[in-house]
């Protein structure tokens, strides 16, 4: 069945018999009616409940005229910057302008503004004054408190304060917005809506807060006191659970900003209903001339089966947005969506992914989380798995088998991230074996990120010994299955906690393991992560300990170059880094060396000549190819790398900060 899109013009509204929509959803992304896009989910959920929603995708933000396209909505505007933060959409980790926007027609840049949430709300205020404006989406969610802004290198106010919107919703917004919509529909003034979970609002200093308060902070103090800012983030992080979380207050001169406790996550029946709504599952036809919207290609034949993540990597914002308590759709719900995909005209028999934030999570980390909430001050998987961890992937195996058995399905791949430490904690290796045998398309992408114990602690990742055990078992299972498959490890340079010596340690580890990474992700300080707080304050907000934070441009260049030391263009930086780190022993011709001397210098012993007078190749000159492997030659052509890993460099000059060796 072909489903229709929601109206994108006043003429389409009139054709439906609408005098005016109830809500206008303003989005920084192009309109893609697919359940991987927040705008599609929220608008379909509201439509399903009887509300009339019109879509204003990537409006002309240079004036307020485009925001009048539908007239004044009956209940208000819903504003989102899109699926990702607008600053991340526009700039690399090196603060260089991107040249491609996956969420815009034809990948065209410039169709949304920087800080889109603020700009859109200001244009709405110009057009309609006091019309209700409700913020949502990732940008609003992660900027709901005073936050460090990497691009301006300062603490900015909550986006609710800067935008002058009425309410901010954080986390997954289906039930939050339904509650707000029903209150507005009953005639409750938007300024009176103050008790909805999952919302943030502004009120007078003397106004009552509806929930117990965990703590109160003053913005004027936060912006000048890094230790206090780190403490504030720690309080926010520890109050993300719907069962144990309390309200948090920030003071802004004569106003106070109040975050109510989180809305409980959707349970299985609710998730099933959300994903069964009538999505068109593609981009709007108005983008045909531009070639469509590139972001659909990553998800067109993929299925999301879960939400939430108890992995808690410190550089990931998922904990601050979706929370730690995992919820999953029923197997029947996923199979129904798979059947819909198999009926699509361009389906070739391959389901590209059945995953989510972490593919192999199907239930909360332990049963206690359902009644008592997630533990405060204890992570489920690191430094070692909690004794109460329920590491059981049997239901995920059944889900994969059910989808594989559908008549038109040739193969199901898993492309979302997997937690290899969770796989190893599972007493059964049935999923590990099935993954290797049935769901890897030649190479498996995993995220050890680093090898230094100190850096991994700062990242919230398991020790590298866990990855080594996983790697050994992966290749052993590949050999048993008679499959030539590879590992592609994701690695991160310049994360807080990483010194030049740590980067050297990682370079040596990669050389010894025969890994030559094509991609290295520079640490990107984005709002809503503990790692970003470490970068700005030099303090780990989760335990209060000091952390070294590399922020010197030259040092970042060197750390990155060390991880890709085989590239000839990186040789000068690698040599400089090794000298600064006191590791000149790694410059030379020996098998353990990372780089040769500049001009045949006297580091180590030069290569010998063989009987014919030709020089022998340096023993360490060739590695095991571009990917880790099972003692086999690298494939002639590796699969293309993940598109969203950035390789840009900053044109900025070194800030002169002393480099920690």
3-state secondary structure 566-624: CCHHHHHHHHHHHHHCCCHHHECCCCCCCECCCCCCCCCCCCCECCCCCECCCCCCCCC
Q: What is the distance, to the nearest Å, from the Cα of residue 440 to the centroid of all Cα atoms in its chain?
A: 22
User: Tens digit of pLDDT for each residue in 242-284?
Assistant: 999 999 999 999 999 999 999 999 999 999 999 999 999 999 9
pLDDT value, residue 319: 85
Is 622's pLDDT higher than 80? no
Query: For residues 411 and 447, is the Cβ–Cβ distance under 8 A?
Result: no
Mean pLDDT of 157-170: 98
Is 382's pLDDT higher than 90? yes
> Architecture of domain 301-441 in CATH?
2-Layer Sandwich (3.30)
Is 374's pLDDT higher than 90? yes
Is 41's pLDDT higher than 60? yes
Alpha-carbon distance of 635 to 654, in angstroms, equals 39
- DSSP states of 363-428: S-SSTHHHHH-SPSS--SSSSS--TT-----HHHHHHHHHHHTSTT--EE---S---HHHHHHSS-
For the chain, what percent of residues have pLDDT higher than 90? 87
> Domain-by-domain residue ranges, the chain?
10-195, 301-441, 445-661
Q: Residue 617 — very low, low, confident or very high, per pLDDT cuts 50/70/90?
A: very low
Q: Residue 2 — very low, low, confident or very high, per pLDDT cuts 50/70/90?
A: low
pLDDT value, residue 199: 98
Please identify which residue in the block is written with the tokens 């989910």.
41
Q: Residue 653 — very low, low, confident or very high, per pLDDT cuts 50/70/90?
A: very low
Q: Residue 603 — very low, low, confident or very high, per pLDDT cuts 50/70/90?
A: low
pLDDT value, residue 377: 84
User: Tens digit of pLDDT for each residue in 535-581?
Assistant: 999 999 999 999 999 999 999 999 999 999 999 999 999 999 999 99
Is 613's pLDDT higher than 90? no
Cα–Cα distance list, 2 to 156, 272, 282, 324, 343 (Å) = 45, 20, 11, 36, 11
pLDDT value, residue 606: 53
Mean pLDDT of 446-465: 95
Q: Residue 3 — very low, low, confident or very high, per pLDDT cuts 50/70/90?
A: low
User: Tens digit of pLDDT for each residue in 201-243?
Assistant: 999 999 999 999 999 999 999 999 999 999 999 999 999 999 9
**Topology (CATH level 3) of domain 445-661:** Transcription Regulator spoIIAA (3.30.750)
| Three-state secondary structure call for residue 302 | strand
pLDDT value, residue 224: 96
User: Tens digit of pLDDT for each residue in 497-527?
Assistant: 999 999 999 999 999 988 888 878 999 999 9
Query: For residues 380 and 365, is the Cβ–Cβ distance under 8 A?
Result: yes
Pairing state of beta strands 199-204 and 255-259?
A: antiparallel
| Element holding 304 (H helix, E strand) | strand 302-304
User: Tens digit of pLDDT for each residue in 137-160?
Assistant: 999 999 999 999 999 999 999 999
Q: What is the distance, to the nearest Å, from the Cα of residue 528 to the centroid of all Cα atoms in its chain?
A: 11
Residue of 313, 563, 250 whose CA lies nearest to 456:
313
Two structure tokens written together for 321:
């947005």
Query: For residues 397 and 434, is the Cβ–Cβ distance under 8 A?
Result: yes
**Euclidean distance between the first and final Cα of the chain, in Å?**
62
Alpha-carbon distance of 573 to 560, in angstroms, equals 9
Report the b/e string of 598-631 with b at 16+ CB within 10 A.
eeeeebbeebeeeeeeeeeebebeebbbbbbbbe
pLDDT value, residue 520: 86
Q: Residue 53 — very low, low, confident or very high, per pLDDT cuts 50/70/90?
A: very high
More confidently predicted of 529 and 624: 529
Among the residue ranges 73-77, 553-557, 639-643, the one predicted with the least confidence is 639-643
pLDDT value, residue 519: 79
What pTM, to 2 d.p., does this model score? 0.89
Mean pLDDT over the full length of the chain:
90
Query: For residues 281 and 347, is the Cβ–Cβ distance under 8 A?
Result: no
pLDDT value, residue 516: 86
Residue of 208, 198, 207 whose CA lies nearest to 245:
198
Q: Which CATH number fits domain 10-195: 3.30.470.20, 3.40.50.280, 3.40.50.150, 2.40.40.20?
A: 3.40.50.280
Same fold, 10-195 and 301-441: no
pLDDT value, residue 624: 36
Residue of 85, 26, 76 whose CA lies nearest to 529:
85
Phi-psi region of 541 (alpha: psi -120 to 50; beta: other; left: phi over 0): alpha
pLDDT value, residue 630: 41
- The neighbour count for residue 582, using CB atoms within 10 Å, is 11
Alpha-carbon distance of 166 to 136, in angstroms, equals 11
Alpha-carbon distance of 128 to 148, in angstroms, equals 31
């Amino acid at each position: 069945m072909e489903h229709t899109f929601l109206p994108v013009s006043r003429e389409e509204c009139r054709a439906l018999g609408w005098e005016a929509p109830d809500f206008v959803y303003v989005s920084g992304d192009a309109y893609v009616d697919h359940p991987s896009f927040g705008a599609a989910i929220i608008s379909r959920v509201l439509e399903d409940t009887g509300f009339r929603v019109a879509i204003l995708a990537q409006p002309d933000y240079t004036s307020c005229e485009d925001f009048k396209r539908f007239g004044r909505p009956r209940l208000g505007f819903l504003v989102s910057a899109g699926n990702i933060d607008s600053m991340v959409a526009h700039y690399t980790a090196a603060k260089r302008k991107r040249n491609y926007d996956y969420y815009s027609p034809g990948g065209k840049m410039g169709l949304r503004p920087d800080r889109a949430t603020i700009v859109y709300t200001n244009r709405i205020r110009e057009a309609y004054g006091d019309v209700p404006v409700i913020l949502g989406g990732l940008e609003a969610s992660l900027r709901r408190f005073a936050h460090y802004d990497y691009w301006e290198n300062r603490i900015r106010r909550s986006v609710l304060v800067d935008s002058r919107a009425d309410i901010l919703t954080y986390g997954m917004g289906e039930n939050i917005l339904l509650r707000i919509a029903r209150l507005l529909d009953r005639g409750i003034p938007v300024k009176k809506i103050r008790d909805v979970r999952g919302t943030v609002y502004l009120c007078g200093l003397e106004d009552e807060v509806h929930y117990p308060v965990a703590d109160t902070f003053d913005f004027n103090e936060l912006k000048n006191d890094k230790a206090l800012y780190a403490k504030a983030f720690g309080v926010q992080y520890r109050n993300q659970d719907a069962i144990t979380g309390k309200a948090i207050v920030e003071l802004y001169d004569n106003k106070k900003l109040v975050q109510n406790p989180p809305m409980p996550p959707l349970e299985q029946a609710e998730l099933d209903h959300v994903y069964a709504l009538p999505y068109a599952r593609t981009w709007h036809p108005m983008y045909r001339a531009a070639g469509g919207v590139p972001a659909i290609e990553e998800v067109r034949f993929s299925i999301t089966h879960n939400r939430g993540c108890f992995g808690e990597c410190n550089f990931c914002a998922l904990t601050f947005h979706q929370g730690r308590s995992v919820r999953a759709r029923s197997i029947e719900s996923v199979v129904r969506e798979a059947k819909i995909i198999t009926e699509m005209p361009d389906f070739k028999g391959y389901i590209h992914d059945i995953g989510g934030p972490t593919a192999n999570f199907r239930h909360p980390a332990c049963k206690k989380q359902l009644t008592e909430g997630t533990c405060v001050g204890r992570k489920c998987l690191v430094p070692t798995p909690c004794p109460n961890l329920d590491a059981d992937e049997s239901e995920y195996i059944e889900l994969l088998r059910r989808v594989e058995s559908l008549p038109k399905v040739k193969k199901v791949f898993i492309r979302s991230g997997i937690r290899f430490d969770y796989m190893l904690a599972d007493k059964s290796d049935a999923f590990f074996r099935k993954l290797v045998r049935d769901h890897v398309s030649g190479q498996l992408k995993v995220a050890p990120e680093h090898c230094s114990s100190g850096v991994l602690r700062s990242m919230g990742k398991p020790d590298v010994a866990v990855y080594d055990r996983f790697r050994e078992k992966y290749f052993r299972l590949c050999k048993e299955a008679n499959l030539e498959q590879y590992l592609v490890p994701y690695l991160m340079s310049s994360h807080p906690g990483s010194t030049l010596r740590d980067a050297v340690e990682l370079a040596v580890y990669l050389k010894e393991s025969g890994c030559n990474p094509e991609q290295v992700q520079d640490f990107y300080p984005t709002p809503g992560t503990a790692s970003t707080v470490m970068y700005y304050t030099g303090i780990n907000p989760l335990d209060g300990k000091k952390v070294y934070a590399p922020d010197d441009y030259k040092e970042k260049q060197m750390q990155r170059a060390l991880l890709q030391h085989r590239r000839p263009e990186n040789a000068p930086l690698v040599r400089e880094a090794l000298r600064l780190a006191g590791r000149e022993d790694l410059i030379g011709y020996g098998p353990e060396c990372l780089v040769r001397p500049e001009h045949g210098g006297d580091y180590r012993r030069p290569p010998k000549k063989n009987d014919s007078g030709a020089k022998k190749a340096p023993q360490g000159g060739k590695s095991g190819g571009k990917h880790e492997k099972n003692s086999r030659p690298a494939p002639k052509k590796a699969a293309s790398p993940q598109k969203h890993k950035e390789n840009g460099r900053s044109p900025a000059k070194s800030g002169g900060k002393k480099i920690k060796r």
